[in-house]
Amino acid sequence: MRLSRVAEPFDDPDWLFEIKHDGFRALAFCDSGEARLVSRNGNVFKSFPSLAVDLGAVLPRTRAILDGEIVCLDSRGRSQFNELLYRRGEPYFYAFDLLWIAGHDLRRVSLHERKAKLRSLIPASESRGLYCDHIEERGCDLYSLACKHDLEGIVAKHKSGLYLCDESTTSWFKIRNRDYSQIIGRDEQFERLERPHEPEQAGWASCALACAASVQ
């Protein structure tokens, strides 16, 4: 699902709102105790082997495809992008959507239902597989808290939205904290590292193929 942008936060009873975690977006392919983390470009993240092992252990009897974000967190639970980029911190996987489980393709199910199924799937006990919680309607309040705690921002998602891989369609919108401290100098930092380019609007055709293959 493509993540687009809007400039200002809003309140609406038909929408839910999540914290925007600052990390690497990934699909998690979980299969009976094993997991693979795959980038937006369809490449396996090879630098997080222990996270993949731990994520598989969190869902030992489950076959599922999750959408989420690989992050490093500080003692207050805030994303620390440089810790992740330079592999200095312990990585976690924040799951915010469930696309497929046990032979059932959920992409045509409403987001509200998908998140409810995901919530029941992720254990409440402490692990490196985390559930990305949300609030409903009160986007402005969550945005204010995100700015107060120097977080990247929030994401607004329509509660009845489907998971569509069409590049021209989305019901997910990022609302960035304009004063977010960790964004300063990031473009120059990426240029120095010559990190493989992963454009924000990159296609998720690999997601559709993966779900189709799993169904087969």
Is 46 noted as a catalytic residue in this protein?
A: no
- Residue type present at position 85: L
Local structure of residue 195 (DSSP, 8 states): P
In this structure, are residues 216 and 178 in contact, taking their beta carbons and an 8 Å threshold? no
Nearest in space to 156 (alpha carbons), one of 47, 41, 6, 50: 6
Q: Is the dihedral angle over the CA atoms 37, 91, 140, 178 positive or is it negative?
A: negative
* Catalytic residue selected from 20, 115, 157, 159: 20
Q: Which of helix, strand or coil describes residue 193?
A: helix
Q: Which residues are catalytic?
A: 20
